[in-house]
């Protein structure tokens, strides 16, 4: 869902209760051109990124996009194929991933620092089999890296209804957010504003409000 920045800015102002923070704005005297509105606007994009990155997968479906591309065989371990998929430059996280030969999908791409990564490369196939598929997000020199996929039943497996979430960015005065994370983003932006002016007490209140918006919808 697309939200106008002006709308989000006003909602962040309401969340902050500007009067309660007016004393703290004196801390910004060394940056005289910075206004509260400008500060809020500067926090909306990083707030959206943090919220979407951390949110449960169940809250992301209305902003997911189809993940496409060509699978390449990059290894063979314990008689299972290891496939690679280059990621688009706007990739943030998986929502759903399945290959045509799998019985069920996975919903998370693990980092290569996880214990499962070493197990998936084991010659004994203790992890990353057809019964225990594993997908890893491996950083690359360019773009967003690649997905390393273990447990392909065949080198001819294809992508099957794979979905991902794009990095939320401001474009033409608006930003796309999951509808269920609208107010979570507002409170997280308010939290970042409070941190910027060193109001840790108020920041904690905004952080609790943000958490309540995600927890009650899981």
The verdict on 118 and 176 lying in the same domain is no
pLDDT (mean) for 194-201: 86
Q: Residue 136, class by beta-carbon neighbours within 10 Å (0-12 exposed, 13-18 middle, 19+ buried)?
A: buried
| Boundary-marking domain end, from 144, 161, 178 | 161
Question: Who wins on pLDDT, 108 or 29?
Answer: 108
Report percent pLDDT > 90 for the chain: 44
Contact of 9 with 184, CB cutoff 8 Å: no
| Boundary-marking domain end, from 161, 182, 205 | 161
The verdict on 40 and 117 lying in the same domain is no
The verdict on 136 and 201 lying in the same domain is no
The verdict on 44 and 99 lying in the same domain is no
Q: What is the domain count for the chain?
A: 2
The verdict on 197 and 181 lying in the same domain is yes
Summarised one tens digit per residue, pLDDT across range 165-185 is 999 999 999 999 999 999 999
Its domain, for residue 128, covers 68-161
pLDDT (mean) for 88-92: 92
Give every strand in the sheet of 64-66, ordered side by side: 64-66, 163-166, 91-96
Please give the mean pLDDT across all residues of the chain.
83
Virtual torsion, Cα 91, 92, 95, 100, nearest 10 deg: 30
For 67, 78, 119, 149, the CA distances from 90, given in Å and listed in that order, are 11, 33, 29, 20
pLDDT (mean) for 10-29: 68
30 pLDDT exceeds 50? Answer: no
pLDDT (mean) for 135-141: 83
The verdict on 89 and 139 lying in the same domain is yes
Q: What local confidence, expressed as pLDDT, does residue 115 receive?
A: 82
């Amino acid at each position: 869902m697309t939200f106008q920045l002006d709308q989000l800015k006003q909602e962040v102002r309401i969340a902050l209760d500007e009067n309660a923070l007016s004393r703290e704005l004196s801390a910004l005297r060394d940056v005289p051109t910075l206004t509260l509105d400008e500060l809020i606007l500067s926090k909306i994009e990083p707030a959206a990124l943090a919220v979407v990155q951390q949110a449960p997968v169940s809250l992301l479906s209305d902003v997911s996009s189809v993940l496409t591309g060509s699978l390449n065989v990059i290894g063979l371990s314990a008689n299972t194929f290891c496939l690679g998929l280059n990621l688009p430059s706007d990739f943030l996280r998986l929502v759903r991933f399945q290959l045509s030969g799998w019985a069920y999908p996975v919903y998370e791409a693990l980092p290569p620092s996880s214990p499962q990564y070493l197990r998936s490369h084991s010659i004994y196939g203790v992890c990353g089999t057809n019964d225990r598929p594993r997908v890893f997000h491996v950083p690359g020199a360019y773009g967003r890296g690649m997905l390393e996929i273990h447990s392909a039943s065949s080198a001819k497996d294809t992508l099957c209804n794979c979905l991902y979430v794009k990095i939320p960015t401001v474009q033409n005065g608006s930003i796309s957010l999951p509808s269920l994370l609208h107010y979570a983003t507002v409170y997280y932006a308010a939290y970042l504003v409070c941190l910027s002016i060193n109001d840790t007490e108020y920041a904690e209140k905004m952080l609790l409000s943000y958490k309540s918006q995600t927890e009650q919808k899981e």
